[in-house]
Structure 1
Amino acid sequence: MFSDLSFVAQLAIALPVLILFQLSVLSILDRRVRLGRINRSLGRMPVRSAAQRRSLLQKIAQVFRKLATETFERVSIMRGGEAETSTVLLRTAGFRSRDAVLIYAFLKLVLPATGALLAVLWFVVARGDRADNWLVVVMWCCGAALVLSKAPDVVLVQIRNRRFKQVRKSFPDMLELLVIASESGLSANPSLSRVAAEIRMFCQPLAFEMQQLVAELNILPSRDDAWRNFSTRLPLSEITIFANALMQAERYGTPFAGAMRTLMRDERAGRLLKIEEQAGRAPALMTMPLILFIMPPLFIVLVGPAALSILDNIMNGGFG
């Protein structure tokens, strides 16, 4: 009984202390918020502003980039064709940074070792496996290292495919806008620049590539190189046809508006063919649902009553 009373006394003392501590913490936080609002209203920013927090994130990214660069320099991870393939994959996925290949190589080096170490810790610490199961541990370590070594490639391929899908979806709209801009009297470079600004709201990858194309058309000595770079950054059939058509138009002196009108007409014809192809595939695609979900119920409805009637006659005759 006395122990119950002592527990009640402790609880009666602890609750007010906790409430006072909570109220003091809330008052401190509220005071900081009010001071921040007053400083912002008076034009005096607080000490830790958003720019400083952003600079902290930039410092962290800089440290990570430096670590990746030093690791890449000390450990020769990628050479020759593998480095070129990785560069092309990163470029088509939208990563154009100077240190993108270094960070990619650093991840390819660190992730497998991390996966193997985590697998060992999971088996040894969490599960407590003994020495007689080391073969299983080694197999799981190798599997985790292999999966994590392929993880950057899988992620980049998914990003690239999503980017290509977005570009392919927005390409007809881009052609339509180019036709409108060219027929209004704009030449090639102003038309491309204006359309890039217009499509930035619904397709940022294509707008970014078009802006880079305009910059290369103004800077590079050969305009054909700019068009080839554009088709290399976006290796799609539509982009390749678009770049080749405009290269030929500039080479043979075809007006930009006429080339755009021809490309738009061909693109509309191609879209119509794709729609007709999808419509033609519909009966073949409906065959399996028809067989799996429609024919069995129809068979039961048609044959079921006759089967039940025959079974009923057999049962009555047998008992009669």
Structure 2
Amino acid sequence: MPFSASALLPIIMLAIAGFLAVPAIMAFVRSWKAKEDLERRLERRESRPAVQEESRNDTRIGRAVIGLANRATPSNEDAVSEVRAKLLLAGFTNPSAVGRYYIARIACVVLPQLALLVALPHLGGFSKQHLIMLSIGLIIAGLLAPDMLVSRRTKARQQQCSAGFPDMMDLMVACVEAGLSLDASVQRVGEELELRHPIIAGHMKKLSLELRAGKARKNAWRAFADRMSIEEASSLATMLRQAEEMGTSLGQTLRVFSADMRKRRILMAEEKAMALPAKLTLPLIIFVFPVLLGVLILPAVVKVQGAL
């Protein structure tokens, strides 16, 4: 019995969604055996099986999610490193964040297609072309949604770091001029900013741990700038490296840099204030001008109609 076009439409949509999910499924299959062997070796080396079994029962759902996320991670190290760096900038520091990211991408492509398939009997008023366009639009939106979410979160974190960076520099100058070393100042500033600027406080605490672990100061500050991914942090890392190489006064250098940060904040506020009239021009023309025109012309229109 020949199939109608409406009956073939769900099959076509599922085929497209399955085709787009093929790369992730192939990566899942490739990494399954290696991850399973690694988990088996780690289980053999566990010295306390009873405690391990109890913790597994307590967090069975969490372990299942983490295991699925780890298996969904592709085996290409370059792609994994790129995605991990992007997720770190967005604040996703969990070791299984990469796997969860790929699971989210697959779910954002497949689940809308399944929902459309379930709702298809109730969409009889739509033509076949509209349903195909809707399916393609859902696929495109599912592919772009995780990246858009990560990019938006990264941008928001960068804005928060830029807004709180002058406060961090003021505290750094106060600590250094009070007699603390640079490493101790980093730890103190991280504690002070925990409530006001928690993102910067987290970066400062990680920087303090790296310095205490023996990492070179210029490398630690460069990693700090890379994690924050803002221009101010890069300038600070470069300035501290140059001050250390040339032997200049650290307190004076930080004071000058802090003054520059305060001036930059004032200039940014003035820039936003000067751009406000230009941004208000279009809303005023669209919403205020017609109302004002009606208030001015309406009495004259009423008088003309009364005279006629």
TM normalised by structure 2 equals: 0.70
The aligned residue for residue 169 of structure 2 is: 175
Partner of 2:229: 235
Name the residue aligned to 2:59. Answer: 58
Cα distance in 2 between the residues matched to 1:54 and 1:206? 33
Q: Is the Cα contact below 8 Å between 1:120 and 1:137 reproduced in 2?
A: no
1:62 Cα offset (Å): 1.1
Q: Does 1:105 align with 2:64?
A: no
Return 108-117 or 182-191, whichever deviates more: 108-117
Q: What's the secondary structure of 2:179's corresponding residue?
A: coil
Tell me what 2:122 maps to.
127
Instruction: Please show how residues 117-266 of structure 1 align to structure 2 within 5 Å.
Output: 117-123=114-120, 126-127=121-122, 138-266=132-260
Amino acid at match of 2:151: V
| Cα drift, residue 91 of structure 1 | 0.8
Is this contact kept in 1: 2:158–2:228, CA < 8 A?
yes
Task: State the Cα distance separating 1:310 from its structure 2 match.
Answer: 5.4
1:18-42 Cα deviation digits (max 9, x unpaired): xxxxxxxxxxxxxxxxxxxxxxxxx
Percent sequence identity over matched residues?
Answer: 28
Whether the 8 Å contact between 2:71 and 2:99 is mirrored in structure 1 is no
- Provide, for residues 281-313 of structure 1, a one-character-per-residue CA deviation record: whole Å limited to 9, x for no partner: 243334335544555555555555556555555
Deviations, residues 35-86 of structure 1 (Å, cap 9, x unaligned): xxxxxxxxxxxxxxxxxx99766331111111222343xxx4x736543431
Q: 2: CA distance between counterparts of 1:273 and 1:213?
A: 29
Q: Does 1:91 align with 2:88?
A: yes
Structure 2, unpaired ranges of 5+: 1-53
Alignment of 1:24-39 (within 5 A): none
Instruction: Go from structure 1 to structure 2 and tell me whether the alpha carbon gap of 1:209 and 1:57 turns closer, same or farther (over 3 Å shift).
Output: farther
Which of structures 1 and 2 has the bigger CA Rg?
1
Question: How has the CA–CA distance of structure 1 residues 122 and 220 changed in structure 2, closer, same or farther, with 3 Å as cutoff?
Answer: farther
Residue of structure 2 equivalent to 1:278:
272
**Offset, 1:116:** 2.2
Q: Shift of the alpha carbon at 1:156?
A: 1.8
CA RMSD of aligned residues (A): 3.1
Matched-pair contact (CA < 8 Å) for 2:56–2:63: no
Q: Which moved more, 1:254-263 or 1:144-153?
A: 144-153
- Match of residue 25 from structure 1: none
Give the residue type in structure 2 aligned to 1:161: K
- Residue 98 of structure 1: SS of its match in structure 2? coil
Stretch deviating more after TM superposition (85-94 or 271-280): 271-280
Residues 56 and 254 of structure 1: CA distance in aligned 2, closer, same or farther (over 3 Å)? farther
- In 1, the alpha carbon distance for the partners of 2:105 and 2:262 equals 43
**Does the CA contact (< 8 Å) of 1:119 and 1:144 recur in 2?**
no
Equivalent residue letter for 1:86: V
In structure 1, the gaps of 5 or more residues are 1-52, 316-320
Tell me the TM-score normalized by structure 1.
Answer: 0.68
Q: 1:260 to 1:150 in 2, by over 3 A?
A: same
Query: Is the CA contact (8 Å cut-off) linking 2:72 and 2:103 kept in structure 1?
Result: yes
In structure 2, do the counterparts of structure 1 residues 180 and 65 end up closer, same or farther at CA, with 3 Å as the change threshold?
A: same
CA distance in 1, matches of 2:129, 2:300: 62
**C-alpha distance in 2, partners of 1:286/1:110?**
41
State the alpha-carbon separation in 1 of the partners of residues 237 and 160 from structure 2: 18
C-alpha deviation, 1:134, in angstroms = 6.5
Deviation at 1:159, TM superposition (A): 2.2
Q: Which has the higher contact order (CA 8 A, sep 6+)?
A: 2
Give 1:66's aligned amino acid: G
Distance 1:283 1:222, change over 3 A: same
Deviations 1:69-128 (A, max 9, x none): 2343xxx4x7365434312210101122322212212322344223322322221xx528
Q: C-alpha distance in 1, partners of 2:240/2:130?
A: 60
1:165 deviates by 2.5
Distance 1:151 1:252 in 2: 48
Question: Is the deviation greater in 252-261 or in 79-88?
Answer: 79-88
